[in-house]
Every structure is written in structure tokens, then in C-alpha cells.
Amino acid sequence: MMPSPFPVDCHMHTPLCGHAVGEPAEFVEAALARGLQTIIFTCHIPMPSARFGGAGIRMDRDMLPLYRRYVEEARALGKDAGLEVRYGIEAEVFPDAQVMEWMDEILATERFDFILGSLHHQVGAYRDWLREHGVTSDEAIVRHYFTHLAAGARSGRYHSLAHPDVIRLYGTLRDGFEPERALPWFEEVVEAAVENDVCLELNTSGLFKGDYVMHPDPLLIRVAAEAGAKFTLGSDSHIPTALAQGFDQAVRQLRASGIGEVYVFNGGEREALPLPELADLPEGDEAPPSIPS
């Protein structure tokens, strides 16, 4: 297994969300095999209704102590081996204040190191919202997706916006996603992120599913970089062997876009870590791992 060109992976899931596999020891072992120094678990946050996906997508609220214990077990195992394990969460971005209030209670009571903000447009709740608000054309859906994401950036809830163009996957759009056409709306997200000092996530999972492009699309990465956006880097692993997947390509893409550092969170505090120089990366791309999405 090739060592990861970047030592921190900021996005991964545990079996508690119902669609990931791996014991704490297996994540620790895989992280060490990849030469990682820090990993941050970011399971899907509990949400108030089954329309956000029930069991099979996310843990129930009363499972949070289990999640905490899972991460603590991994932390204890990693400690002696020189791996730092942190406690994060993949929270939701959603355009309904009441729903967000319910979720905010969790954010207020759990001491997360890192909070991702994701708009999972594929869940029933968001599709219901679109339908109830008469949003049906691809163009309107893309516009609403990015506008809601920008509102998420302004909300102060999240440290980083996860896979910020995931609207292109999972069949919410009828005719597919064109990054060029989405630019004006994506720029609103970038502006809100920069103004509110929120990071964007470069999420490599897109390289291994659907259209085989990282999140966000390289064009969008470049636009965000030019506007001064800060990035976090995550594999979105749902299986230990996917840790740091695609980081070689991610580092190349970020460097090519003029980005020299990536941000990592600990207890909500941000730290910048330099990316390796292009010249220091090993020749050739790593072979993509064969993994379930």
C-alpha cells in the first residue's frame, strides 16, 4: 500500500451509520498502513425524521454514546502507534429552521473536533422540500442546492462544507450537471465560505463512483482557489481500506490550482498543514482501490 501524500484524512464513517464497515482496530490498522498521522471520524448526524434516511443511513440519537465510544476505542488503539484519532460529525445542511434547531441541540451538547456540513439532496426530506416549493427544473434545483449550501456557510454551524457539488450524483438532476453552467451559483457558495471563514472539502470519494471526478469538480476547485477559499481533505471512507483514497490526485489537483496548504481541525480549532510539493510526489497516479461506494 502506497503511503498517503498527505498525513490527515478528515472524513470517514463507522458501521453505526448502517452502510459502512470496519472495527476501530481495522481503521487504525489501515490508517497506519497508509502512513496517516491523524484521522477524523465523521459519521452522519442523527436527524429528526426518517425522511433523512433512517437506519441504514444514519444512527439514531440514542446511539451517539456508542459512536463516542467507538471513536474513543480507536483513539486508545491509535495512541501508542502514533496515530491521532479525532471525533467529528457530518452534519446536515437543510433549508428548514425547525429541523436545524433539532440538529443544533446535538451540536451544542457533543464536543466534536470537526463539523462537516453536507446537503444530501438525495434524501427524501430534501426532495420533498423541492417538490413542495415547485422546484423541478435541473437549473432551479442546482440553483437551490448551491443557495442552500451558501446559507449553510453563513450559518456558523460548520467548519467545512462536504463534497460541495454532490448535486451532480444520485439522480436528482434529470440531465446531469454542468460545472460551467453552475458557476454563478457555486461562486455564491465560495463567497459565503470565504466571508465566513468556512472551508470547502475536497472529497475524493467522487473519484470512485458515478462520474469518477473528485468533489468539487476541478473547475470549481480552481474557481474556489482563486477566490481564496480554504480546503479540508477527506476520503469519505465507508471501509477502512478506502482511507486516503485518491489523495495523490487530490494533492496534485490542489497544487495545480495554486493551493499550498490544507486545513485540519482539532476541538474546533483550525490548523494549516502544507501540501507536499509536486516534485516530491511519487511518479504516476496510484491505482484506484476497488471498493464499494
What is the DSSP secondary-structure string of 111-144? --SEEEEE--TTSHHHHHHHHHTT--SHHHHHHH
| Residue among 38 and 118 whose Cβ is closer to Zn ion | 118
| Residue among 13 and 168 whose Cβ is closer to Zn ion | 13
Distances (CA, A) of 193 to 86, 135, 198, 205, 270: 23, 25, 5, 22, 15
State the minimum distance, in angstroms, from the CB of residue 80 to Zn ion.
29
Restricting to residues 213-272, which ones interact with Zn ion according to CB under 5 A?
none
> Do residues 125 and 170 touch, judged by C-beta distance below 8 A?
no
Task: State the residue number with the nearest CB to Zn ion.
Answer: 118
Q: d(Cα 160, Cα 242) in Å, to the nearest integer?
A: 21
State the minimum distance, in angstroms, from the CB of residue 226 to Zn ion.
25
Is residue 203 part of the contact set for Zn ion (CB under 5 A)?
Answer: no
Q: Of 19, 72, 22, give the one whose Cα is nearest residue 243.
A: 22
| Residue among 32 and 213 whose Cβ is closer to Zn ion | 213
Of 10-18, 60-68, 258-266, 271-279, the window that binds Zn ion (rule: CB under 5 A) is 10-18
Q: Where are the alpha helices (DSSP H) in the chain?
A: 24-33, 64-81, 97-109, 124-132, 138-154, 179-195, 218-226, 247-256
Q: Is the peptide bond before 46 cis (omega within 30 degrees of 0)?
A: no
Of 118-126, 219-227, 266-274, 281-289, the window that binds Zn ion (rule: CB under 5 A) is 118-126
| Residue among 13 and 34 whose Cβ is closer to Zn ion | 13
- 4, 14, 118, 160: which one binds Zn ion (CB under 5 A): 118
| Residue among 13 and 86 whose Cβ is closer to Zn ion | 13
| Residue among 5 and 53 whose Cβ is closer to Zn ion | 53
State the minimum distance, in angstroms, from the CB of residue 11 to Zn ion.
8
Residue 143 class from Cβ within 10 Å (0-12 exposed, 13-18 middle, 19+ buried)?
Answer: middle
State the minimum distance, in angstroms, from the CB of residue 285 to Zn ion.
24
Which residues of this protein are in contact with Zn ion, per CB under 5 A? 13, 118
